Amino acid sequence: MDAEELPATPTPDRHGLSAAGRAAAMISREIAFADPDPLTLTEYDERLYRYSTTLLHQPHRDLLGPIIGDWRRVQAALGRRLTPAVHRELTRVAGYLSFYLGFLATDTGDDTSARRFATLTAQCADHLDDRLLTGTAHSLDALIAYAQGRLGHAAVAAARAAATRQPYLDGWAAALQVTIAAAAGDEPSLDDALLRLHERPDVRALRNPGWPPFDDSREAVVVADAMTRLRVPGARSAAARAVALTAPATLDRGWALGALAATLVTEDPAAAGGVLDEIVAILDLRPSRLLSARVHEILLLIGTPHDASPARAT
């Protein structure tokens, strides 16, 4: 039913009291009608989950438009006079949408936007005291720092993500720690992170926003990449297993192929180049700054003389 303005009591307006009373009535109605309907909130929740399941598979161009549109609508709603419960829910939605945009900005090379979205994600998490969103914000901070080559900062941020002890996030936090330690050549930290990755809780059936559920194929890719970087015996077998576990034409398959190519560099550079061609075909469908950087690293290895120094023993 539409709001109805009742006639005011004809009294003198002492010190602007009547004017303030009219303003109070307007504010009251703003609060009453500001909340989005429950169906809209449910649909936002559905879309958060859909974005998490497609984040690593769909091209950036297919994801950015819908996510930015939702992010703008939620930010506009947060500027209204919402009830506390709805404000909290929309802040949660805004936090995860900011995370998705921060991830996509990182993977497209827009570091300035990535840093801004990461800061906003962390602010939303602070307002809610939500462990999953807090850990997700730290993991995004770690990913951005890793992409920029700031491995020390990346390691600290990944440790903060792991410290939240949120079961759904444990796999991703440990995977980041493995990748960062391998890139830095920090073998003691790598061993600890590999143990945490292996002992992660099984949360594949859980439905949460943010990162997609961490599964065995993702673990195989992370382990193969780390073994390859440190030239651990058995790296080629680990890479082949990762290739077998990943789906064709996905970024995970690209990373698994990258690990395999790196093990072929010294023995068969032509075969390594052929594997890199497969990765480039994946990147044509699903561009990724991080995977492209890995391809460039392997290309440099192919063109660089190699020493015969022993590989890591364990």
Q: Per-residue pLDDT averaged across 64-87, rounded?
A: 91
pLDDT of residue 310: 42
Give the SS3 label for residue 30: helix
Give me the chain's average pLDDT, please: 89
Q: Is 81 exposed, middle or buried (0-12, 13-18, 19+ CB in 10 A)?
A: middle
Residue of 180, 184, 104 lying closest to 142 (CA atoms)? 180
Q: How confident is the model at residue 308 (pLDDT cuts 50, 70, 90)?
A: very low
pLDDT in tens, 269-299: 999 999 999 999 999 999 999 999 999 999 9
Distances (CA, A) of 246 to 234, 242, 253: 19, 6, 5
Tokens representing 268 are 């068969």
pLDDT at 1: 42
Neighbours of 64 (CB within 10 A): 16
CA dist 159 → 89, 106, 203, 272, 299 (Å): 27, 20, 20, 34, 31
pLDDT band of residue 314 (cuts 50, 70, 90) is: very low
- Give the 3-state secondary structure of residue 55: coil
The pLDDT tens digits for 145-189 are 999 999 999 999 999 999 999 999 999 999 999 999 999 999 999
Q: Reduced to 3 DSSP states, what percent helix, strand and coil does the chain have, rounded to the nearest 5?
A: 75, 0, 25
Q: Measured in whole angstroms, how far is the alpha carbon of residue 299 from the centre of its chain?
A: 27
Q: What is the dihedral angle through the alpha carbons of 280, 282, 174, 136, rounded to the nearest 10 degrees? A: 120
Measured between alpha carbons, how far apart are the two ends of the chain, in Å?
Answer: 73
Among the residue ranges 2-16, 33-47, 89-103, 207-221, the one predicted with the least confidence is: 2-16
**C-beta separation of 70 from 44 below 8 A:** yes
Per-residue confidence (pLDDT) for residue 82, from 0 to 100: 83
* E strand spans, the chain: none
Which pLDDT does position 121 carry in this prediction?
97
% of the chain exceeding 70 in pLDDT: 88
Q: Is 47 left (phi over 0), alpha (psi -120 to 50) or beta?
A: alpha
